[in-house]
Amino acid sequence: MKAKHFYLPLAILVLSACTSKRIVVQVLKPAELTLPRTVNRIGVTDRSFLGADAAAFCFENGAPSSRFNDLIIAGPPKVIDGFLVELSSFTRFETIPLSTDEKAPEKPAETPVLSAEGMKKWATDSLLDALVSLEGYKVELISAGNIYPSAYTDAFGNVFIVPRFQDSRTIRITAHWRVYDLKRQAVILDKKVSTELFFASNGYNSDDAYRNLPEKKGNVENASQVAGIKFARSFIPVWERGVRKIYLGQLDPWLVAADSAEVGNWESAAEQWTKLEKKAVLGIFRRQAVYNLVVANEVTGNFEEAERWAKIGQKRYKTREFDGAILYIDRRRIENQALDEQLNE
């Protein structure tokens, strides 16, 4: 009986130690594109009018159209505006809007690459490190109409069908960008980015539904601005929501450490888990304290310490949990190196 009474509390204690909690964290993730550390002062210009693969094409339902010349003129300036406004929020770069006086060559297949002499001139005249240029622009208008039957019941229970007409328009903007490193006189990025905005309206007949669609020029201007914003965001690191698991048990010191982590004081939580790891009598508690220390150091960006604890856990306990932690820390270290480059730190 004495043995039974001794092991029952111990079993309860061990089972309670398996309790875990998930904590929401914000993690800074690197941008899709990285510019060299030497690039800080950026000029932004529109060269799309220099080529045939540029602000020369408007497509309607897959076929080239010359009916909307005003859309061709209205779009590129809005792309530039969207890019400038969005990138200006990233304080690493100083962005400067610039116009160009280049002459269009005769019947080019696309906007020609800026010459070495031209790059040198931009760097000298405007004291720029790089030039972001809109080299091509295409707008596509894709329309579609549908009829949807709607069933209604009158006061006598009779069902009648009323057709509902819908018209829609998709605006697809394809922006061709080049980024020039003016100091090295080289193209460091050549990329085409497509952006779509969808608009829809209803009416009592097909003509009514079409008339209720927003005005085309406004649609194209909005989509063009979004296209510029989208490309600018590819240079800006972003905060992403993440979730981390920690073990908390039922004893007060564990709960206090968990509370510290939950309010974002991971340094204090790590100090407490270090003490708990040293004092723990049972192996399960030591393993969980070690795992929590891996998490705390990863969240605070101390990847060397996180890896040290993960390897301790891997050696002692040989669980997949620590194997996965080591791989994840390696990935986070690579991301952090990219962030250092992008933030110029």
Q: Is the dihedral of CA 116, 121, 124, 130 positive or negative?
A: negative
Q: Which residue has the higher pLDDT, 89 or 162?
A: 89
What are the Cα distances from residue 172, in Å, to 24, 46, 109, 220, 226? 37, 19, 21, 8, 11
Per-residue confidence (pLDDT) for residue 233, from 0 to 100: 97
Instruction: Report pLDDT digits (tens) over 207-256.
Output: 777 777 778 888 889 999 999 999 999 999 999 999 999 998 667 899 99
In whole numbers, what is the pLDDT of the chain averaged over residues? 86
**pLDDT level of residue 133 (50, 70, 90 thresholds):** very high
Angle at 245 between CA 241 and CA 246, to 5 degrees: 130
* Cross-strand pairs, 163: 149
Rounded to an integer, what distance in angstroms lies between the CA atom of residue 31 and that of residue 20? 32
Percentage with pLDDT > 70 across the chain:
86
**pLDDT level of residue 203 (50, 70, 90 thresholds):** confident
CB atoms within 10 A of CB 61: 11
Rounded to an integer, what distance in angstroms lies between the CA atom of residue 291 and that of residue 300? 15
Q: Which helix (H) or strand (E) holds 182?
A: none
**pLDDT level of residue 165 (50, 70, 90 thresholds):** confident
User: At residue 35, does pLDDT exceed 70?
Assistant: yes
Over residues 156-184, the mean pLDDT reads: 85
Per-residue confidence (pLDDT) for residue 212, from 0 to 100: 79
Per-residue confidence (pLDDT) for residue 169, from 0 to 100: 82
Percentage with pLDDT > 90 across the chain:
60
Per-residue confidence (pLDDT) for residue 207, from 0 to 100: 75
Rounded to an integer, what distance in angstroms lies between the CA atom of residue 304 and that of residue 319? 20
Over residues 28-41, the mean pLDDT reads: 94
Decide: 181 and 188 in contact? Cβ < 8 Å: yes
Q: Which amino acid is at 15?
A: L
Per-residue confidence (pLDDT) for residue 12, from 0 to 100: 47
Per-residue confidence (pLDDT) for residue 64, from 0 to 100: 62
User: At residue 202, does pLDDT exceed 90?
Assistant: no
Instruction: Report pLDDT digits (tens) over 39-86.
Output: 999 999 999 888 765 444 556 666 666 666 667 788 999 999 999 999
Decide: 317 and 287 in contact? Cβ < 8 Å: yes
